[in-house]
Every structure is written in C-alpha cells, then in structure tokens.
Structure 1
Amino acid sequence: MNKPLQAPVCAYQLLIRAGNLLQPLVLLLLRLWIAHVFFSSGLTKIADWDVTLALFTDEYHVPLLPPAVAAVMATCGELGLSSLLAFGLGGRFAAAGLFILNAVAVISYPDLTEATRQFHYFWGAQILVLLAFGPGLVSLDRLVQWWLQKRGGHSQS
C-alpha cells in the first residue's frame, strides 16, 4: 500500500541531496555577489573623495558621527569587509559588518527611492543568509579550520 508514496519521498530525498551538494557553490556565489556590490560602492567613494565628503556632509546623515569619520568608516568597511567576505575569511564577522553598514545606509539617507530601498532590503536578506549559514565549504574560514584541526591532532564537527 505504500508504493504510491515511495516515488514522491524518493524525489524529495534527491532534491534534498542536490540542495546539500549545491550549498557550497550557492554560498560562494552569494558571497561574491554581495562583495561585488559593496566593493564597487567603496571604489566609487575613493574615486572622488571630495564628492564623497560632500555627500556625507550634505546628504547622508549618519547618526552620531562627524561626516568625515562616517565617510572613512563607510569606505573602509565597504572595501575591507567585502574583501574578507569574498575570500570567506572571517565570513560571519564580515557579513555582520556589511549588514550594519547596509542598515546605516538606509537609515542615514532619507531620499532613497523605493526601488533603491528594496535593493538594500534584498542585500540585507542575502547578508542574513551568510550570517546564518556562514561562508560555506569553499572559503578560507574552512581552510583555516581544517589546518587548525590537523595541527591540533583532533577533529571537531
């Protein structure tokens, strides 16, 4: 009597296995996509520092920080944290920093269009995935973990 249920269960199990096999690639692509978004923004800021300072002075209203400090912190965060994220080194730390940076961008720039705001929400959701799952198997974090386990002579899961 259970014969009709076996095919859907088997198909579901295959789907789960395929998802598990694809997870490292998906996390890598997600890291690279988010890193590209933020790194490109950082490059734009350093391309014309006078314009960046003017924007942080006149348009972006970062709470609690002087505009020049906010500009430096945002630029360093975008360039540094996105680089760490791309390599998967300190992956969750980098994702947390970019999440905060993204949230501050939404809060500090009231003139965002609805479409631009949706992009920031989308990036925030993607970053939350990286916070929840970590950088994945294809990352320097995993390589460092493997090296430390090998060096220590014991394994952890």
Structure 2
Amino acid sequence: MYYYYQHIQTPLGRMTAVVNDETLLSLSFTDSKDYQTAWDKLQKQATLIQISSHPIINQIALELEAYFHGTCQQFKTPVNYVIGTPFQQDVWRALKALSYGDQVTYGTIAEAIGLNPLSIIVPCHRVLRKDGRLGGFNSGLHRKKYLLTLEGGRWNE
C-alpha cells in the first residue's frame, strides 16, 4: 500500500499533506509536537512517497489558500481517519461538524483529544477552556490565535 505526501507552505508555516488515492489522511504542521508520531504511524501502514502533484493535495492546497484569504469557510476535501483511537476519531468527527467561527469548550467535546492528524481541517483550534481562555494547541498558541482571529473568534485573555 502507498500513501503520497507533499509539503504545503501556509502563512502559519510548512505543513505536510498525506493522501491515498481517494482521501486526505493527514495534514500537519511540520514543527507540531505530534508530527513525528503521526508520521511514524502512517509509515507503519504504508510506504510514504513524496510527489510533486496529486489531485487531493492540489484540492486541499487551494482550499487552505482560500481559507487563509477568508474566502473558504468549509473544507470539502474528503478525509479519512486512518490513525488514532476510535475515541479520538469520534472526537475529530464532532470537531469537524463545528461551523466556521464556532467555538466550544474542551469540556463540551473532551478534556483533551490528543493527536490530531488533520490540522485546520479538523478544527481543534476552535476549542477553548471552560473559562473561555485559550488552552493547549499542539501546533502552538500563536497559530491558534491566528486561526481564531481569522475566523472572527473571541476568547478571554
């Protein structure tokens, strides 16, 4: 089995998109805490091949560009959760259902979700602590603030 990957440059840093023939499997900032963990899990499932072009990666790259320009509020790229526990996958599905600009508390979804292999697409940046303050974000609070600001979000300082 083969998975294909390509690096995508965003205003918040370099990301790696991993796909199979049909869906996006992973989208992670290359400097996030769980990047290597996700990469290792994907490598155990398939041979990872770097490519210069792929229809699904092209689609997510265009959607990300539109998102960062404020013109994409819903990602349409098909995703598949191939890593993570069943609980984590349930949490990611719940987070993916959040509308653009919506925010919830960790207690609403879960106290912590652990690894998120689809940054931005599965919008864990929209999750706040119970007191409305910013909580942990695997890819860094500076990115969480940027994404929430882009979406018109508010939080307690």
TM-score category (smaller protein): under 0.3
Q: Which has the higher contact order (CA 8 A, sep 6+)?
A: 1
User: What is the TM-score normalised by the length of structure 1?
Assistant: 0.28
User: What is the TM-score normalised by the length of structure 2?
Assistant: 0.28
| More strand as a share of residues | 2
Structure showing greater radius of gyration is: 1
| More helix as a share of residues | 1
